[in-house]
Structure 1
Amino acid sequence: MSGELLAFLILAMLAILGGILMINLTKVIHMLLSLVLTFLSIAGIYVLLSAEFVAAVQVLIYSGAITIIMIFGIMLTRHNDEQREKINPIRNLAVGIGIILFFVAMYVPINSMSFGEQATDLHVENTKQIGEALYTKYVIPFELMSVVLLVALVGAIILAKKDDAQEAEEK
């Protein structure tokens, strides 16, 4: 077993663990932290694929910016902690069996595939190629996306403040 395969298996298991924790945890902030674990694990997988730029974007945008926006959303909204009912152990067993069957159904075809001749020069100057494409061919969609994200952030703040103002008027 090579070190690259071992690193991939560890990162994949961490990503899956983060996803499982996000589904099963009850506190929203704990769910968010498990989501960060998944994002960072996926960034590590990108590094193994020689996509350092995509890994850096994954860490900066998803693990950083999206997580901060979610934290603001949690802080700016009201939420009640409600106790969830206990999950049936039979349901847990059925979910576990389903996960194992899904893994086998995905592993067998992927393992039997022949990829033929693999490209070895895909990772050479990939950051330069992404930058050139982003700022030449896709500059307008890039700028439009930044405006859309800004409008969404301002709208979320306005909606949160409007709820606070209505609550103050009711009192």
Structure 2
Amino acid sequence: MFGNIASFLSSGENIAFFVFALMAIGGAIFMISFNKVVHMVLALALTFISMAGLYVVLSAEFVAFVQVLIYAGAISILMIFGIMMTKHQGEEEELKRPVHNVLLFIGAAALFGVLFYCIQNVTLPAGQFKAAEDNTLEIGKLLFNEHVIPFELMSVLLTVAFIGAIVIAKREED
């Protein structure tokens, strides 16, 4: 049963995948566990950066670059500025619920056990993946030739959402 794990961890690429996956899961758990919003944002940034590492391992360099640039950089900084620019009242601490934490641990362990069992017993067909030589060039060709209409529709949708957010923010000020 554990022979699959030993063969999985025999290559450096798989070890990097495992480390980045653990960092992503850890950052997500820290994000929902922390009480202070700044700590939550930093844990979320860790998750975003580790997801970019996963993309690099999967040979999607363009997606990894966009992940770091947009999510880890822009959204994390935007959230921190939003926290700094708004007023926060002293919030009450939640009551500790030990029974709730024990049930959460049991549920997480059961989920891990089921996933471990399923992954160990699955048989995947062997196949060859032929990656493009230049991912960015291929994405550009697809985006501006084959998928140009959805690309433009998304830009219009994002512009409308941005204008709507400004209108709603102006109404709340008045």
Instruction: Please indicate, yes or no, whether the TM-score normalized by the shorter chain is above 0.5.
Output: yes
Question: What is the CA–CA distance in structure 2 between the aligned matches of 1:121 and 1:131, rounded to whole Å?
Answer: 18
Pairing 1:13–2:37 present:
no
2:138 is aligned, of 129, 135, 138, to: 129
Please report the TM-score for the alignment, with normalisation by the length of structure 1: 0.81
State the AA in 1 paired with 2:152: E
Matched, 1:142 2:148: no
Matches within 5 A, 1:73-84: 73-75=82-84, 78-84=87-93
Partner in structure 2 of residue 34 of structure 1: 43
Whether 1:159 aligns to 2:171 is no
Unmatched 5+ stretches in structure 1: 167-171
For 2:63, which of 54, 65, 68 is the aligned residue? 54
Indicate conservation of the 8 Å contact 2:132/2:138, yes or no.
Answer: no
Relative to structure 1, the CA distance from residue 29 to residue 146 in structure 2 (aligned partners, 3 Å threshold; closer, same or farther) is: farther
% identity of equivalent residues: 49
Cα offsets for 1:78-124 (capped at 9, x unmatched): 54341231331222122122112212212222232222222231354
1:101 aligned onto 2:110:
yes
Quote the offset at 1:75 in angstroms: 4.9
Give runs of ≥4 in structure 1 deviating > 6 Å: none
Aligned residues: 165
TM-score (norm 2): 0.79
Contact 2:31–2:39, Cα closer than 8 Å, also in 1 = yes
Q: 1:111 aligns with which of 120, 145, 166?
A: 120
Unaligned segments of structure 2, at least 5 residues = 1-8
Residues of 2 paired with 1:14 and 1:38: CA distance?
A: 7
Distance in 1 of aligned mates of 2:149 and 2:103: 48
Q: Is the 8 A contact 2:52 2:67 kept in 1?
A: yes
